[in-house]
Amino acid sequence: ELCSVCPGDTSVLAGLYGPAEAKLSKELPDRAALEVLLRPKVGLPGVLERSREQLLRQTCEAAVLGVLHPRTAISLVLQVLSDAGSLLSCCLNAACMALLDAGLPLAALFCGVTCALQPDGAILLDPTARQEQEARAVLTFAIAGSDRKVLMATTKGSCSVEETQQCLAAAQRAAGTIFQFYRDSVRRRYSKC
């Protein structure tokens, strides 16, 4: 199942394969083995891509009900087509929509939201690359669908504790818009066929 998500000019193509037969070395006896591959737009995947793959993999593992498909492998391949800021949250959204499209059993939906803390203290959601560079801190959260809990958090730059809580609250509020987008996209896809 392929699916492309583009907020503004950042676009990521996600391909999900599975649950398929796993290699003997990689299979887990009680759950599905999830693998995420993130390919940058230019160059070979480096340490930054590996670190993001780990974030995405553990977020998807928390959402997917792997125990329903033991000894199988689920592969998620993400290709960055263009990067104009908020890349990690775009990857998270692409991953979730790919999981939805594939029909895998999920415990909860999740969405990615990026918040940029500007030097004057204002919170900006889904910043562009320029806004991310000028910001004091950039926080990315993966918010779970059912209860708006935090599934994944990663920060760049430093900020105070109150500012972090404010960004988290703003991200939780914004998550509602993204989940509505998921619903509309899925409705559109299935209304045609």
Partner 1 sequence: LFICSRTVEPLEYYRRFLKENCRPDGRELGEFRTTTVNIGKCLCSITTADGSALVKLGNTTVICGVKAELAAPAVDSANKGYIVPNVELPSLCAERFRSGPPGEEAQAASQFIADVIENSQMIVKEDLCIANGKLAWVLYCDIICLDYDGNLLDASVFALLAALKNVQLPLVTINEETGLSEVNLKQKNPLFIRKHPVATSFAIFDDTLLIVDPTAEEEDLATGTVTIVTDEEGRLCSVHKPGGSPLTGAKLQDCITRAITRHKEVKKLIDKVIKSITPK
Among 3, 73, 109, 144, binds partner 1 (CB under 8 A): 144
Question: CA-CA distance, 191 to 189, in Å (whole number)?
Answer: 6
Contact region with partner 1 (CB under 8 A), list: 13-21, 66-74, 151-159, 178-186: 151-159
Interaction between residue 60 and partner 1 (CB under 8 A): yes
Instruction: Tell me the residue type at 88.
Output: L
Interaction between residue 154 and partner 1 (CB under 8 A): yes
Contact region with partner 1 (CB under 8 A), list: 74-82, 114-122, 127-135, 136-144: 136-144
Interaction between residue 78 and partner 1 (CB under 8 A): no
Question: CA-CA distance, 20 to 28, in Å (whole number)?
Answer: 13
Interaction between residue 30 and partner 1 (CB under 8 A): no
Q: Which residues 165-184 are close enough to bind partner 1 by CB under 8 A? A: 165, 168-169, 172
Full strand arrangement of the beta sheet holding 11-21: 2-5, 11-21, 72-82, 33-39
Question: CA-CA distance, 167 to 141, in Å (whole number)?
Answer: 9
Interaction between residue 62 and partner 1 (CB under 8 A): yes
Long-range CB pairs of 148-155, under 8 A, 24+ apart, other chains included? 148/172, 148/175, 151/59, 151/62, 151/63, 151/108, 151/110, 152/55, 152/58, 152/59, 152/92, 152/110, 154/55, 154/88
Phi, psi at 177, each rounded to 5° = -65, -40
Q: How many residues interact with partner 1 (rule CB under 8 A)?
A: 38
Of 71 and 156, CB closest to partner 1: 156
Of 13 and 153, CB closest to partner 1: 153
CB of 46 to partner 1, least distance (A): 8
Q: Which residues bind partner 1 (CB under 8 A)?
A: 47-48, 50-51, 53-62, 108, 137, 139, 142, 144, 147, 149-161, 164-165, 168-169, 172
